[in-house]
């Protein structure tokens, strides 16, 4: 990357933070609803080091903000985390899974496979992956985080009443977007957690981080790579690289979008470094970007702020934070995740408008004002077909809880719709004598 580009990014980051500090700070906290529950669950099981996870994810947050200049998140690798939590992976096993995925993504990036892959995927399938990921967040949060809560249980600080209040407040901020929702909700939740920790005499204490190296054994490589890593690769490729690059272009059209290869190298580098030190495998996810954007983040300064915060807390408090974070109200985290999911779902609205990247070049000239209007370049049949491809992708992704299945289904639907055109082209070539038996 050129020095001039880095200076331009740094200048924009500083300018944005100076002009809108509260929005950037609020936005930086938007993805904690996904990060905290998974990090805590893995730390409680002894699968990862919370200190190392905070420190390395903090470093990656800072580098991401400085090099890309957008609020690109650093999220847990969810497929790996799900298997690791269910099977109580050791440090070495989850490290092997993360390193394996990082090595595969590095290979895809340097060989150009990622770039080719992104070029051949139609926009309706990409938007289907985004919408499906958003719906999955909403369903998971409602079913696993909020549904178990009672109206006044499990505690005065964590129950359905607080969830309802947080949701009403979220609706309020749809009208008044300048209200720093994530910052206020996080401050309230942290206050509740501190009060409960003080009552239980289990407040965090000073504990300086001591780095250590994790070297997986041969059985750990086998289990980590095959049982968790292989399932993570399509999720990382589709949602954390291809979809997140397209989403960045949709949400921040005036900011230079990172290339597919650059994001792929970033994901690879994070895991090829951090996992050796007991940190949680991480990636860049479209859900996290949508969350941080929804709560006010518009530049890399937001994730730089979050990174510095993680770094300081990880170095000086580390593992002593587990008890405090476990007491953070699920009611508040759950609603934050729902907000992120709804923001991601909303990108599907632009499928058949000039907001879709593949028809935007025509929309500007045909609509005249560049607004997201349905342009005459798409017939009713074409719009219906695009919508069908997107919804097939969404439906099977959500139904099977698998990005790869949704992707394959969407591509098959797209190819079937292309058959009449392919047959007509073959017939024309035959009539011209360009195809001979």
Are 307 and 58 in contact by the 8 Å Cβ rule? The answer is: yes
Single out the residue of 338, 161, 130, 154 nearest to residue 249, CA to CA: 130
pLDDT score for 374: 43
Q: What is the DSSP string of 152-205?
A: S-SBTTBSHHHHHHHHHHHHHHHH-TTS-HHHHHHHHHHHHHHHHHHHTT----
Residue 87 banded pLDDT, cuts 50, 70, 90:
confident
Mention every residue, 6+ apart, whose C-beta is less than 8 A from residue 369: none
Q: Which two tokens stand for residue 3?
A: 């020095």
Q: What is the pTM of this model?
A: 0.81
Span 221-229, mean pLDDT?
A: 89
Two tokens, residue 416 = 């079937």
The predicted structure's pLDDT at residue 320: 84
| CB burial string 155-184: b at 16+ within 10 A, e below | eebbbbebbeebbebbeebeeeeebbbbbb
Alpha-carbon distance of 25 to 106, in angstroms, equals 32
DSSP states along 24-41: HHHHHTTTHHHHHHHHHH
E strand or H helix that includes residue 75: strand 75-76
Tell me the per-residue pLDDT of 248-306, one tens digit each, with 9 for 90 and over: 988 898 888 899 999 999 999 999 999 999 999 999 988 889 889 988 899 999 999 99
- Report pLDDT for 434: 62
Among 206, 199, 201, 168, which residue's Cα sits nearest to residue 185?
A: 168
Whether the CB-CB separation of 325 and 189 falls below 8 Å is answered with no
- Per the CB < 8 A criterion, the answer to whether 268 and 103 are in contact is yes
Phi (first) and psi of residue 69, to 5 degrees: 75, 15
Residue 174: pLDDT over 70: yes
**Residue 274: which residues within 8 A CB-CB, separation 6 or more?**
52, 56, 57, 60, 98, 280, 281, 282
Candidates 61, 42, 34, 6; CA nearest to 270 is 61
User: Which helix (DSSP H) or strand (DSSP E) does residue 235 occupy?
Assistant: helix 230-235
Task: Please give the Cα distance from 83 to 28 (Å, whole number).
Answer: 28
Of 133, 188, 137, residue with least CA distance to 331: 188
365 in Cβ contact with 371 (< 8 Å):
no
| Contact between residue 389 and residue 410 where contact means Cβ atoms under 8 Å apart | yes
Whose CA is closest to 271, among 98, 27, 432, 149?
A: 98
Helix/strand/coil for 251: helix
Distance CA 141, CA 339 (A): 10
Cα separation, 256 vs 370, whole angstroms: 19
Token pair, residue 178, equals: 């300048």
Cα 400–Cα 236–Cα 282 angle in degrees, nearest 5: 115
- The ranges assigned to domains in the chain are 6-348, 379-430
Q: How many helices (H) and strands (E) does the chain have?
A: 21, 2
Structure tokens at 130: 């985004």
Q: What is the pLDDT of residues 356-414, one digit of tens each?
A: 666 654 444 433 344 444 444 777 888 888 899 999 999 998 888 777 788 889 889 99
Biggest alpha carbon–alpha carbon distance for the chain: 86
Quickly count: other Cβ atoms within 10 Å of residue 423's Cβ.
10
Least confident of 181-195, 196-210, 291-305: 196-210
């Amino acid at each position: 990357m050129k020095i001039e580009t880095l200076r331009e990014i740094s200048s924009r980051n500083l300018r944005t933070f100076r002009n809108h500090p509260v929005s950037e700070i609020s936005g930086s906290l938007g993805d904690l609803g996904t990060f905290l529950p998974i990090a805590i669950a893995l730390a409680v099981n002894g699968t990862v080091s919370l200190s190392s996870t905070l420190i390395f994810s903090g470093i990656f947050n800072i580098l991401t903000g400085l090099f890309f200049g957008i609020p690109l998140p650093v999220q847990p690798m969810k497929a790996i985390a799900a298997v690791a939590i269910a099977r109580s992976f050791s440090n070495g096993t989850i490290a092997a899974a993360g390193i394996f995925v990082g090595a595969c993504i590095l290979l895809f990036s340097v060989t150009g496979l990622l770039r080719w892959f992104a070029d051949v995927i139609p926009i309706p399938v990409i938007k289907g992956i985004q919408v499906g990921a958003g719906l999955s967040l909403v369903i998971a949060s409602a079913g696993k985080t909020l549904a178990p809560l009672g109206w006044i249980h499990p505690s005065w600080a964590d129950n359905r009443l607080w969830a309802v209040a947080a949701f009403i407040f979220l609706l309020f901020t749809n009208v008044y977007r300048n209200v720093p929702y994530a910052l206020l909700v996080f401050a309230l939740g942290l206050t509740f957690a501190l009060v409960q920790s003080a009552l239980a005499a289990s407040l965090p204490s000073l504990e300086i981080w001591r780095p250590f190296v994790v070297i997986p054994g041969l059985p750990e490589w086998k289990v980590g790579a095959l049982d968790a890593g292989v399932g993570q690769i399509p999720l990382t490729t589709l949602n954390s690289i291809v979809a997140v690059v397209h989403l960045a272009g949709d949400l921040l059209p005036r900011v230079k979008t990172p290339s597919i290869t650059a994001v792929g190298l970033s994901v690879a580098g994070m895991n090829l470094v951090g996992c050796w030190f007991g940190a949680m495998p991480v990636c860049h996810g479209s859900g996290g970007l949508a969350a941080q954007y929804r709560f006010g983040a518009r530049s890399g300064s937001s994730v730089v702020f979050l990174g510095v915060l993680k770094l300081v807390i990880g170095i000086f408090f580390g593992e002593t934070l587990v008890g405090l974070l476990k007491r953070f109200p699920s009611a508040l985290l759950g609603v934050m995740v729902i907000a992120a999911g709804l923001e991601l779902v909303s990108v599907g609205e632009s499928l058949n408008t000039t907001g879709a990247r593949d028809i935007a070049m025509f929309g500007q000239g045909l609509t005249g004002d560049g607004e997201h209007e349905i342009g005459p370049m798409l017939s009713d049949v074409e719009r219906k077909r695009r919508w069908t491809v997107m919804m097939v992708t969404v439906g099977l992704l959500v139904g099977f809880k698998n990005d790869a299945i949704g992707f394959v289904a969407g591509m098959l639907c797209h190819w079937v719709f292309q058959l009449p055109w392919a047959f007509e082209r073959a017939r024309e070539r035959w009539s011209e004598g360009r195809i001979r038996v």
